[in-house]
Structure 1
């Protein structure tokens, strides 16, 4: 007993001596010791801890690039593990008529079994520490500044099973689910604090090629071209080109360019990315947005000659006379949206340079009302593979509109309408406005009669001399 007391007294004296010695040491020694201890603690805990973890963050390391794996895990857990969860949250799906969409709530842990192995999943909220005595919360490494994420915890001996079988199975099931229940989405880029990312809404365009006010043979030609593109993966690989295609839609306002894009999305069942160039800071931001687009998508820049963007060509020094020097062409943002600049060289690289190879099965669409304002380098063949003119409404296009809006294919007024359409330039939107049923329902006869009167007035207005000529004649 006396020996034990002497040992404790000796230990106490040793600790007191160590404390005195520690207090006499310089501050840099204290800091170095703390650093060594802080680095050793996780190693010691990892040695004794039989579990490992994988974090699936909602965004990439730069916090604005969406992590598709996060969506895959969310979809898988919603199908496989909801029965074991006590905390859920409900949302409406892409369509208000759908059943409620049930997901895991934050800080909810669920257990999944795969080939006899137990996997623990937990949805960790953004910038919040894990709470509660769970398998995942007992592990080191939680941080206050992490984005929303899923944490997967498993036994060390299951590492190969998780990496080689379990996670690939989750990705395969996710792809099968989205292929079966695919809801087309319309994306647009959003910028905040110098960073850009995509946001989306459900996209259900009603337009089809049968509804477009175009010559039927032209519609068939475009559909055949899209069909050939969709099955041309091996061909593009064979010739060494990225699996992408460019369409340039040009024509007066109201001729159906946006409707054409909707018809293409319906025909191919692709998502649409509506790119707002004016909100992009520079070429690097443009490339990052492109890398975050999905395959099987249509990337659109509408009214590329307008929308607060002044398309100008600037050439420097002796190269000013070279017409095909793309590297010095610049798209300058307007002064009221002066956030930087996107060079035309950067835009061309986005469409037809190195970057389109980072993905597959994408279609690029440019639209404009004024083709003469664009630099030829932007729309040359090879970048924009097909140039499609969306022209004024002629008789063949009118018949398609009459079929769509009034469900008629013949009428006694068709001959007169066809003659008037050949004599004046009017857009399909103007013709459709007269054919569309109003609040007070009108019969087809009334709609066509009103259309005839409208076209006659337009013809008379077009034939009338300009007001300046009338004033000059009066003065003479």
Structure 2
């Protein structure tokens, strides 16, 4: 102890030499190396990985406990393994689409022999992204297997054993200052992305009525894989464009229909001769909109009550089709019924009795669902009626609000024929037979189905078009007026001549009535 001037004492400090410090460092390093070797030799690799993972999770949570907010998105709701969380599915699909190009680990599967390969996030994968300036951290976690019993297991006495299932969940961490923006903008953005993706990939269904020997019946579905599109539809380009534009406008007017107080629905009447593409247009509409199709045969419906139940059970984003509605019971023009009411009363009573045993639906029952109070029970629905004879339909069925757009499916025209030539024969330009075909099409009435049947007979354009020209000439001859044999007429064989000419373009019976 040394005493300085003023009475201040200063203790002596131990001094370490460089050699002693180096010796201590070498001893410590040797000890750490020994412990590390012992740890790797004695502790199994699985245990080491588990310890490392837990330490990493602990330090991560400790460092972010006061600086971030975390959302937990579980696979099942509140531990109920029968109640799947749709938000989890949306997040899984969204992250898989993001990680497909950047991630080093992805789960690949093809469930139930589907024709699409699905990609999912691998366990332990992490992902970061920025949404509107917000830094977001995603992590995918799997808990240990959990015992559970589904509701079906509880109800089924034959299956009382519990099962094991891992509980997967996502954690989304971000700055708590942006909590409202993430909840109100980011999550709805993910859900919309998922809904759009499902809509594009979903398998369309065709529903038909299955009575099964009963009186009420129910909908039965099959996969709807009709390949027809608007590009392949042989109809006037202006009419086709008008239909597509009307459908697109209908899809984007949810708020408009709500504002004006109308049900979000649309009605289309397709009328024209057989074979003009009415069913093909319905298939093109379904594929364009990604809507399911309900094919309703009114003759199979018992009464208005059953009809209402069936219509209420149809889903949103669907097309309800009633083909040949002029042939359906009780839906023809009421004026015609009134005129014919007094004719053949006994025969009509017998017919009505036979029909009443099968179906007692009324026009008012159908109209009430299309445009009445029941029309608001559902959104984004389209009604399509087809008929070969528009003039036979009741005027109440045709007014706007019920059938909003009347589409005339006419006989084939030259612009529509060019579409068929492109689709069937890959002819995008001109052909030396086109001029003759155009003259024949204008001179006769031929349906697109008839022409398509001729074009499909050969892959050679010259052979197929030559066959079509031959068919059109035969059609023209069949529909041309019959010629009067004036030699027979002048020889006094008027009766025979008139008998063979009554179906022609002129009736000469009045010219010879004085004789």
| TM-score above 0.5 | yes
Aligned counterpart, 1:272: 293
State the Cα distance separating 1:129 from its structure 2 match: 3.8
Q: 3-state SS of the aligned residue for 2:210?
A: strand
2:446 alignment partner, one of 426, 429, 443? 426
State the Cα distance separating 1:469 from its structure 2 match: 8.2
> Are 1:248 and 1:386, in contact at CA under 8 Å, matched by a contact in 2?
yes
> Are 1:274 and 1:301, in contact at CA under 8 Å, matched by a contact in 2?
yes
Q: 3-state SS of the aligned residue for 2:358?
A: coil
> Are 1:124 and 1:130, in contact at CA under 8 Å, matched by a contact in 2?
no
Aligned counterpart, 2:366: 347
Poorly superposed stretches of 4+, deviation over 6 Å: 52-56, 69-73, 113-119, 466-469
> Are 1:278 and 1:333, in contact at CA under 8 Å, matched by a contact in 2?
no
2:411 alignment partner, one of 392, 408, 412? 392
Matched, 1:370 2:398: no
Change (3 A) 1:128 1:370: farther
Counterparts of 1:196-235 in structure 2, within 5 Å, are 196-235=217-256
- 1:83-140 CA distances to partner (integer Å, 9 max, x unpaired)? xxxxxxx9555xxx5689xxxxxxxxxxxx99999794526289954542549xxxxx
Matched, 1:417 2:444: no
Change (3 A) 1:259 1:291: same
> Are 2:330 and 2:361, in contact at CA under 8 Å, matched by a contact in 1?
no
State the Cα distance separating 1:404 from its structure 2 match: 1.1
Number of equivalences? 335
> Are 2:210 and 2:217, in contact at CA under 8 Å, matched by a contact in 1?
yes
State the Cα distance separating 1:248 from its structure 2 match: 0.3
User: Unaligned stretches of 5+ in structure 2?
Assistant: 1-77, 94-110, 119-140, 164-187, 340-350, 485-494, 503-511
Aligned counterpart, 1:472: 499
| Distance in 2, Cα, partners of 1:223 & 1:312 | 29
Aligned counterpart, 1:109: none
> Are 2:154 and 2:160, in contact at CA under 8 Å, matched by a contact in 1?
no
Q: 3-state SS of the aligned residue for 1:124?
A: helix
Change (3 A) 1:70 1:334: farther
Q: 3-state SS of the aligned residue for 1:186?
A: strand
Q: 3-state SS of the aligned residue for 2:220?
A: strand
Matched, 1:250 2:271: yes
Change (3 A) 1:466 1:132: farther
State the Cα distance separating 1:272 from its structure 2 match: 0.9
Aligned counterpart, 2:216: 195
User: Unaligned stretches of 5+ in structure 1?
Assistant: 1-51, 57-68, 80-89, 101-112, 136-168, 322-331
> Are 1:281 and 1:342, in contact at CA under 8 Å, matched by a contact in 2?
yes
> Are 1:423 and 1:459, in contact at CA under 8 Å, matched by a contact in 2?
yes
Change (3 A) 1:474 1:262: closer
State the Cα distance separating 1:70 from its structure 2 match: 10
1:455 alignment partner, one of 472, 486, 489? 472
TM-score (ref. length: structure 1): 0.61
Counterparts of 1:306-321 in structure 2, within 5 Å, are 306=327, 309=329, 311-312=331-332
Q: 3-state SS of the aligned residue for 1:342?
A: coil
Q: 3-state SS of the aligned residue for 2:406?
A: strand
Q: 3-state SS of the aligned residue for 2:217?
A: strand
State the Cα distance separating 1:306 from its structure 2 match: 2.2
Structure 1 or 2, whichever has the larger Rg, is 2
Change (3 A) 1:356 1:92: farther
> Are 2:233 and 2:419, in contact at CA under 8 Å, matched by a contact in 1?
yes
Change (3 A) 1:125 1:115: closer
Q: 3-state SS of the aligned residue for 2:465?
A: helix
Change (3 A) 1:243 1:466: farther
Aligned counterpart, 1:325: none
1:124 alignment partner, one of 141, 152, 169? 152
State the Cα distance separating 1:213 from its structure 2 match: 1.4
Q: 3-state SS of the aligned residue for 1:434?
A: helix
